[in-house]
Amino acid sequence: MHIVCCVKQVPDTTQVKIDPETNTLIRAGVESICNPYDLVAVEVAVQLTEKYGGRVTVISMGPPQAESALRECLSLGASEAILLSDRAFAGADTLATSYTLSRAITKINAAEPVNLIICGKQAIDGDTAQTGPGIATWLGYTQLTYVSKIIGIENGTITVRREVEGGCEIIEGRLPALLTVELELSSIRYATLPELIRALRQEVKVWGAKEIDALPERLGLKGSPTSVREIFAPPVRGGGTAFDVKERKEQATEDFLEALFQKDQTLMDEILSKDSHAQE
Amino acid sequence: MPKNSKGREVAEVVPGKCIGCQLCVGECPVDVIVMEGGVAIIDAEGCIGCGKCVDVCPVAGAILYEKSRKKKAAKAAISCPIDEYKGVAVFIEVQDGQGAEVSWELMGKARELAQKLETKVLGFLPGCNIEPVAQEAIAYGCDVVYTLDDPLLKTYLSKVYGKALVHLCQHVKPEIMLLGATSLGRDLSSVVATQLETGLTADCTGLDIDPECRLLMMTRPTFGGSIMATILCRNYRPQMSTVRPRVMKLPKKDPDRRGEIHSLSFEVAEEALPKVLDFIPRTAEAGDVDIAKAPVLVVAGKGACDAKNLPMLEELAQLLGGTIACSRAVVETGLLPHSRQVGQTGKTVAPKLYIGVGVSGAVQHLVGIQGSDKIIAINTDRQAPLAQIADYALIGDYQEIVPQLIEGIKARTGKEASRG
């Protein structure tokens, strides 16, 4: 079985802090990491090849530095890594990105048929969750999003559990299929030393627009219907009253409750009446 | 204007404004722009001061460069006859035979947008036996409902629903289409936007019309919620956007409202479709509740991550008719499941009352609780980000404070917490 994983290098948003003085974002010095959801995708792909045989190819679209994210995927057991990097790709929104990735997969598929594409559910910098379904649509693959468990693959059919509104569904679909995966699907292995060495030494291929035979008008900024008009800091909630329980013990808690039940009486009435209603 | 050691005037990126789109990286003829931590950095020594990065930068003021240059507007490669597209459409999601609340919330927003554009609110309703939902859509503010009633649409499948909605868009040609950012809506919107080759902006928190160009201004949090971006879709239609549940206000229902219902049909080619074998609903018995729906949330953070104190937090939550949730750190210890996690990689919540116990309040957590009516923080540190933005901050040891709260609330409401 041949599995392709699409990964993205993202800034580690957990390191992002707000400058309290200027209320702007401090992003300088923030590390770039491989999107955590995508690492789960690679881990799961490698597990599937361990069970069913085959190999994993990882691809990423990004600047030359994104190579380090691909090397991390190699250390987890992926066999091959391809970086899609070209000036023509810059400024792509999700439509242009999914087009570019789908062109690369078409080329990979021509060399060795791709049975499964696994993507992370979303990237932590954009949170759109659009690129995976976009790729499936461009390629006409069976689309299975929000997968929290892979139940099995048999006779060209994959069965998975998907997280949906109000519960989860068990669904089966024909291969080739594209899955987007939830974090809870699997924890990620620690790369062994030999794997780390292999990951460092192995070649990461670089493909540009020519290599993937893409239409220039569908790439990058030109191929992106959406554009950013402005960015700004999110509205900040003003701070409220503090009650120092360290100093004033129960009295502070009591003062707080007085304030809550007095000032926010309507809200508390709503909450408590709803509660008693639910009890009936 | 900064100069390098050679005395040449060079361009400089303003880190707080850079959105990390990497356009300048691709444009720089001397390759001196690199990405570091999600922002572009220009190596001043190598910069030749050509200003090409300024031309291509989509954000005004993100690159400092003095020589004024006329910005070339990026011309669309494939454009679409946008004048043919009229009306604000809402995809009406059906859950258990009824219209999803988020669809009605969007109907309210669509009314407001349609008023500004002086156009109609359209409802797109694919499904099976959906006549009553169509009537409800009109009561919530829809002018014309287009239904596709077909047994094939009984269960949601990306491919079939995608075809249905693409068919409706091609037939009706709305200028705007809004979908709820439920798991179904997010799955479907990308399929439809890709097939129509139009722009899609996910999880918008603000939607408005630019009075000058009549474009939809779609505002969404990005970069883990630490910045807001306003996105436009200039040359393609429909302008598509998804909005999470409980972000927009639910409009009042008017059962006397009149509207039209048109029923359309569509054909699906015979092909092997995925099959839903089973549906397992989330049930309270399994301890698996939807924290996004709870009116009160008691949220355990790293500072209150202790199994022995969990019953105490549960008691407080129950007393207020709510439930417990947690931050990411708590999920990582295995104390509570991922379904209870609040924040960027967990759930967005908007309870009436949010009580954070030992939650420090990372950006990723705060973005998930913005919609809460009142935020209460219990923390030993007054300087913790959550304590800073909370409406009420209780500073001290939660093991001391929570029992005091339980007693105090019981005294005020005159009831016991224990429930059957």
pLDDT of residue A15: 67
Q: Which residues of A touch B419 (CB under 8 A)?
A: 279
Residue carrying structure tokens 């922002």: B39
pLDDT of residue B282: 75
pTM of the prediction?
Answer: 0.82
User: Of A173, A201, A218, which one is at a domain's C-terminal end?
Assistant: A218
- Give chain A's domain count: 2
Q: Which residues of B touch A95 (CB under 8 A)?
A: 193-194, 197-200
Distance in Å, alpha carbon of B258 to nearest chain A alpha carbon: 31
Asked if A161 and A260 sit in the same domain, the reply is no
Q: What is the mean pLDDT of residues A173-197?
A: 93
pLDDT of residue B22: 73
pLDDT of residue B76: 46
* Contact indicator for A45, A78 with CB cutoff of 8 Å: yes
Contact A127 B224 (CB under 8 A): yes
* Contact indicator for B57, B12 with CB cutoff of 8 Å: no
Whether residue A226 lies inside any domain: the answer is: no
Q: Where are the extended beta strands (E) located within chain A? A: 2-7, 9-11, 17-19, 24-26, 32-34, 55-61, 80-84, 116-120, 142-154, 157-164, 167-174, 177-181, 204-207, 226-232, 241-244
Average pLDDT value for chain A: 89
Binding-face residues of A in 8-37 toward B, CB within 8 A = 10-11, 13-14, 16-18, 22, 24-25, 27-32, 36
* Run means of pLDDT, 10 residues per run, chain B, 420 residues: 78 79 79 81 87 79 66 50 91 94 96 96 96 95 96 93 96 97 94 96 93 92 78 94 88 94 86 89 68 91 92 94 92 87 84 94 83 92 91 94 93 61
> Does residue A180 have a pLDDT over 80?
yes
Whether residue B107 lies inside any domain: the answer is: yes
Q: Which of A4, A37, A1, A62 is nearest to A178 (CA)?
A: A4
Asked if A184 and A275 sit in the same domain, the reply is no
* Contact indicator for A3, A117 with CB cutoff of 8 Å: yes
Contact A246 B397 (CB under 8 A): yes
User: Of B213, B229, B264, which one is at a domain's C-terminal end?
Assistant: B264
Asked if B109 and B205 sit in the same domain, the reply is yes
Q: Which domain holds residue A42?
A: 2-218
HEC sequence for chain B: CCECCCCCECCEECCCCCCCCCHHHHHCCCCCEEEECCEEEECCCCCCCCCHHHHHCCCCCCEECCCCCCCCCCCCCCCCCHHHCCCEEEECCEECCEECHHHHHHHHHHHHHHHHHCCCEEEEEEECCCHHHHHHHHHCCCCEEEEEECHHHCCCCHHHHHHHHHHHHHHHCCCEEEEECCHHHHHHHHHHHHHHCCCEECCCCEEEECCCCCCEEEEEEECCCCEEEEEEECCCCCEEEEECCCCCCCCCCCCCCCCEEEEECCCCCCCCCCEEEEEEECCCCCCCCCHHHCCEEEEECHHHCCHHHHHHHHHHHHHCCCEEEECHHHHHHCCCCHHHEECCCCECCCCCEEEEECCCCCHHHHCCCCCCCEEEEEECCCCCHHHHHCCEEEECCHHHHHHHHHHHHHHHHCCCCCCC
pLDDT of residue A276: 46
* Contact indicator for B266, B163 with CB cutoff of 8 Å: yes
Nearest CA in chain A to B338: A184
Residues B264, B154: Cα–Cα separation, whole Å: 16
Q: Which residues of A touch B392 (CB under 8 A)?
A: 240-243, 256, 259-260
Q: Decide which of B221 and A177 is more confident.
A: A177
CATH at B393: 3.40.50.1220
pLDDT of residue A23: 52
Q: Decide which of A167 and B358 is more confident.
A: B358
Q: How far is CA A79 from CA A76, A109, A187, B170, in A?
A: 9, 15, 20, 43
Distance in Å, alpha carbon of B227 to nearest chain A alpha carbon: 5
> Does residue A26 have a pLDDT over 70?
no
pLDDT of residue A170: 97
- Give chain B's domain count: 3
CATH at B135: 3.40.50.620
**Pairing mode, strands B216-222 and B206-209:** antiparallel
Whether residue A237 lies inside any domain: the answer is: no
Tokens of B16: 């707080």
User: Of A218, A236, A265, which one is at a domain's C-terminal end?
Assistant: A218
Say what the ipTM of the complex is: 0.86
Residues B299, B335: Cα–Cα separation, whole Å: 13
pLDDT of residue B1: 61
Asked if A136 and A271 sit in the same domain, the reply is no
Tokens of A199: 């990951």
Asked if A107 and A146 sit in the same domain, the reply is yes
Whether residue B167 lies inside any domain: the answer is: yes
Label residue A278 by pLDDT band (50, 70, 90).
Answer: very low
Q: Which domain holds residue B360?
A: 291-413
Count of CB atoms situated within 10 Å of the CB of B166: 17
pLDDT of residue B74: 45
pLDDT of residue B397: 94
> Does residue A106 have a pLDDT over 50?
yes
Taking only the tens place, the pLDDT of each residue in A52-67 is: 999 999 999 998 989 9
Torsion of CA A4, A8, A9, A15, to 10 degrees: -130
Asked if B404 and B327 sit in the same domain, the reply is yes
Whether residue B160 lies inside any domain: the answer is: yes
Q: Decide which of A213 and B15 is more confident.
A: A213
Asked if B354 and B259 sit in the same domain, the reply is no
pLDDT of residue A160: 97
Backbone φ, ψ for residue A37 (5° rounding): -65, -35
Distance in Å, alpha carbon of B264 to nearest chain A alpha carbon: 24
Asked if A206 and A263 sit in the same domain, the reply is no
Label residue A16 by pLDDT band (50, 70, 90).
Answer: low
pLDDT of residue B287: 61
